[in-house]
Structure 1
Amino acid sequence: MRTVHEVSGLAGVSIRTLQYYDKIGLLRPAGYTDAGYRLYDDTDLERLQQILLFRELEFPLKEIRKIMESPDYDRDRALEQQIALLTLKKEHLENLIELARGIKETGGNTMDFSAFDTSRMEEYAAQAKASWGDTAAYKEFKEKAKDRTSEEERDLGAQMMRIFAEFGRIKDTDPASGEAQALAGKLQAFITEHYYKCTEDILSGLGRMYAAGGDFTENIDGAGGKGTAGFADKAIQIYCSRRGAAANCSMEE
């Protein structure tokens, strides 16, 4: 067991912050000393690590508590999402550093603002948060999965990887091609049939997640070769954009 002072020094978090986390029910200490001082065990420290990772990604404390108190909270899945988001954040910072260097070298004549674009991080963060919420898609996923055996789950996973292997076979072609777009539609239909209704918004978010790095990217690239996840994402974004445009045209008519 560690005192609040020890945890503060170990984690680089102020005592006041730890007291506040206790007050709002985000991080309760395992116990107290006879004098009433907080004591934290290893489980508390693991929870604190999770909290600090979410905080590093600028999740509000209210959302962190909601996520971590969800009955469906899965630490490993949360870590995968955190790794993907941190990877996107790293890329964002590297782009900003490169821009700053370019401005310094050119004397301020670099009129490029693309490095400030945080849309990929925001889209993925929204997708990650939604996966912990009480969404219709997540309820449908739980309902469809409840009676499946482990073997059936593995078989579905293998079927999805075969779709990505098909993306890999054409990854050096145009993602806007008919074949690539057909595969994006095939993936959407597969997810809808076996997991939950995969709308264009959901599919777009999934595409970003596939290409964001971490286990998702590695698994997809493992199925189709390096670059498959990125190609699939591009094909998916074009597919969703076209479907969205088509839907808007229909509404106008």
Structure 2
Amino acid sequence: MVSMVDLGTGDGLAVGATAELLGVTVRTLHHWDEIGLASPSERTPAGYRQYTDSDLERLDRIVAYRRSGLGLEAVREVLDDTTVDVSARLREQRAQLAERIEELQELDRRLERMTEAHERGILLTDQEQTETFGDDWDPQRSAAARDVWGGTTQWAQFAERSASRTREQWQELSSAMSSLQRDLGDALGRGVLPGSAEANALVERHREIFSNFFPLTRQMQVCLGRMFESDPGFAAHYNGIRAGVAPWFRQIIDESARAHGIDPDTATWR
């Protein structure tokens, strides 16, 4: 360490000069003084406290151990308790550091997945998406959805859930949606009427399944129903299940909304 001899003076050092020498703050030195860890041993004729060479040696050791991650009480034990095994204490600190490094690495992995989810939506490769959602699935749908919805709360919620969703969980959701769509086609074929108990149950199933992506209110579901009928891509998909499913699906959503006091003609995305 640098001592007062190195500085060319045999006098004590003031707090500010000591802080600068050690690369710590004056506030830190005051705190160590207050807790009795390291205090200046001399005073000037004017009453100002100064650190001696002996004080600086202790401070240098404190700084070294603090930079190694030891807490103040552990540093006090290392310096003042002759029964303490310093090597054992440092090994313990290394073990704790290794645990912390592992935690930080896991945090970094989660942040990476969250970032990718916000950017990509579905964290599956193109091949995995095709295998999970079927041959007619376009892996670019997620990117296209981000272009449209990327700045919304719902996209953020979708990404947050996608970040922790496994391929198996995506498969379960895909299977649930496929099952619902088959049941929609079957119900239309059997002449199930909008507003009936069976139709309302199908609407509730859709809202429950879709809420795995983001919380879907009834008003938002009405807006989706409009899109399913009016958007050429969605209309082709639903009418591909059975001719007429797209407009019928919107009708059963609208009637379910009315049963809950919502006017589908004025419903908005909220």
TM-score range normalised by the length of the shorter chain: 0.3 to 0.5
Of Structure 1 and Structure 2, the greater helix share is in: 1
Tell me the TM-score normalized by structure 2. 0.40
**Larger RCO, structure (CA 8 Å, separation 6 or more):** 1
Tell me the TM-score normalized by structure 1. 0.42
